[in-house]
Structure 1
Amino acid sequence: MGKVISVANQKGGVAKSTTTLNLGVGLARQGKKVLLIDADPQGSLTASLGYVEPDDIGTTLATIMMNIINDEEIAEDEGILHHEEQVDLLPANIELSALEVTMSNVMSRELIMKEYIDTMRSRYDYILIDCMPSLGMMTINALVASDTVLIPVQAAYLPVKGLQQLIRTISMVKKRLNRKLTIHGILLTMVDFRTNYAKDIASRVRETYGSKISIFENVIPLSVKVAEASAEGKSIYCHCPNGKVSMAYENLTQEVLENEK
């Protein structure tokens, strides 16, 4: 059965989509079969994989979840796009926002995404969910469907300050809806160690949370190469195969794989 990892943080701009994309491709490069699920109506992960107009895509995560709500049959490969870097993608677009409103009146609304993902576990080694920057119903759905949560955190004051609220939400979901849910770890992203500020923030994260939550030894450095890769619809491995960021994601991939042993 495949491992399901949510990449979550209610703060925007902390590299959730970038982490999902490059970790997913990193796992695929290690011979793993990987499905990426875009659970953000902004469609950032979808666009980063080269589908630059997510709103023009006919079948998305919103379509699949609505079919589940309406108890309609879903074809095995319905909505899944196959990327050249050997990862599969279930895309998202703005329709996901409307679906989140619709779900407020649905019975067992927290379990809709789980119902779909449980049917896909046997087909993939890893399923990575790129969560939206909020703690709303779509993110709750992702947490309920997941085994673990990976938390990317930009090395800056406000993203670190918001961690407590996210951790409380994860704890609530674990207590009430998904007993097996764990935090895979906190990943420091967009780190510029040339500045004392970034070093201080990184130290604060380790001091505050290190005794309770695993913190990845590896950090993701600040780099314009990541944005350039996303604009080309590629991973950092394709865009800059021997750079510092690609090495950082390669090390992250190894850490994730080591945690499974």
Structure 2
Amino acid sequence: MYYANALVSGLDCYLNSATIGRRRRVAVLAFEEERGGAEMTKIMSAISTKGGSGKSTTIRILAAQLASEGKKVVIIDTDPQGSCAQWVQNAENKGRKIENLGFLAINQLTDIEPTVAKLRGKVDYILLDVQGAATAMILPVAKVSDLIILPWAVTQDDWEALKKSYVILDRIRTDDASISPIIVISNNRITAPDLNHPYVKNRFDVAKKMNIRAAETLIWKRTPYTDMLIKYGSIPQIESTNESIVKAKAEHQAFTHEMLSMLSEAQAKVA
């Protein structure tokens, strides 16, 4: 059960706020009861050292699908562009409020760990959308994440950014064995010719050489992913027979459940 204008262990929280100011803080949920302990909260992040790689789209897909399944979700956004904030607010303004979804914007890397610590146990999932090119944020994000997604469109710039992100993460986990999130390559904005790209076609082999995972689910370049920011809000909430929307909904579900399966496998190994 959640309520508005409350505090989550000292965090200012708002529900259905109409403000998108300099800090772009919108619609943070607070919950009256613990969700089953801090270890029950799972944290997924999207990282790239460049903008436009699909980080925010990836976070919106996860958030929309998880919230539609009744999970309590908070997005933590470190990106000054605040596209996730705009997404939440635009959906509400159009009468498509996304239930079970909260939002918090932060702009200091030192805020990441304490913010996550205060939310643990009070929500089911925390999703971090990490500012592009903010390499200093990768370490604190890696420390708190259970799973990190490295999204990339099939361009040379995106591939170079993915490699740079991977090198930083690999160095982090080599230097500190206690930091060991699952790392996943995810292809975004896929078109039919991209299927023949060697790094798409052979993505599982590429990931194996890097000692990470590759997502089987491809996120295709679809109009609904562009329109979800301004027009649709949460795609899983849309009742439509439009082929593109139907396919986007299927991708939401397949991609999210694939990430959850990876989390479950890792938890089972620890147990």
TM-score past 0.5 threshold: yes
CA RMSD after TM alignment: 2.4
Partner amino acid, structure 2, of 1:244 = K
Amino acid at match of 1:245: A
SS in 2 for 1:50: helix
| Residues 134-143 or 221-230, more deviating | 134-143
Contact 1:218–1:252, Cα closer than 8 Å, also in 2? yes
Distance between the aligned counterparts of 1:240 and 1:38, measured in 2?
28
SS of the residue aligned with 1:237?
helix
How many Å apart are 1:51 and its aligned residue?
A: 5.5
Q: Mapping of 1:214-225 within 5 angstroms?
A: 214-225=213-224
Matches within 5 A, 1:5-20: 5-20=44-59
SS, match of residue 191 in structure 2: coil
Q: Do structure 1's residue 199 and structure 2's residue 196 form an aligned pair? A: yes
Offset from partner CA, 1:160-186 (integer Å, 9 cap, x none): 232221111112333446723323411
Distance change >3 Å, CA 147–CA 248, structure 1 → 2:
same
Q: Percent identity?
A: 22
Higher relative contact order (CA 8 A, sep 6+): 1
Asked whether the equivalents of residues 236 and 245 of structure 1 are also in contact (C-alpha less than 8 Å), the reply is: yes
Give the conservation status (yes or no) of the 8 Å contact 1:192–1:222: yes
Match of 1:85 in 2: 99
Separation in structure 1 between the aligned mates of residue 214 and residue 102 of structure 2, nearest angstrom: 28
Q: CA deviation at 1:233?
A: 6.4
CA contact (8 A) 2:138 2:169 kept: no
CA distance in 2, matches of 1:5, 1:19: 10
Distance 1:177 1:252, change over 3 A: same
Q: How far off its partner does 1:146 sit?
A: 1.7
**Per the alignment, in what secondary structure is the counterpart of residue 128 of structure 2?**
strand
Q: Alignment length, in residue pairs?
A: 214
Q: Name the residue aligned to 1:79.
A: none
2:173 aligned partner, one-letter code: K
TM-score, scaled to structure 2: 0.70
Alignment-mate amino acid for residue 55 of structure 2: K
Give 1:129 shift.
Answer: 0.2
Query: Residues 170 and 10 of structure 1: is their aligned pair in 2 closer, same or farther, counting only changes over 3 Å?
Result: same
Name 1:148's counterpart in structure 2: 147
Task: State TM-score, norm by structure 1.
Answer: 0.73
Q: Distance in 1 between matches of 2:135 and 2:262?
A: 29
How many Å separate the matches in 1 of 2:177 and 2:261?
A: 24
| Aligned counterpart, 1:23 | 62
Any stretches of 5+ residues in structure 1 without a counterpart?
A: 53-82, 101-108
* Candidates 50, 58, 83, aligned match of 1:44: 83
Work out whether residues 229 and 236 of structure 1, in 8 Å CA contact, stay in contact via their aligned partners in 2.
yes
Distance 2:257 2:142 in 1: 23
Q: Is the 8 A contact 2:60 2:84 kept in 1?
A: yes
Q: Is the 8 A contact 1:225 1:240 kept in 2?
A: no
Q: Which whole-Å CA distance do the structure 2 matches of 1:175 and 1:118 have between them?
A: 24
What's the CA shift for 1:139? 3.6
Segments of structure 2 that go 5 or more residues without pairing to the other structure are 1-38, 92-96, 265-271
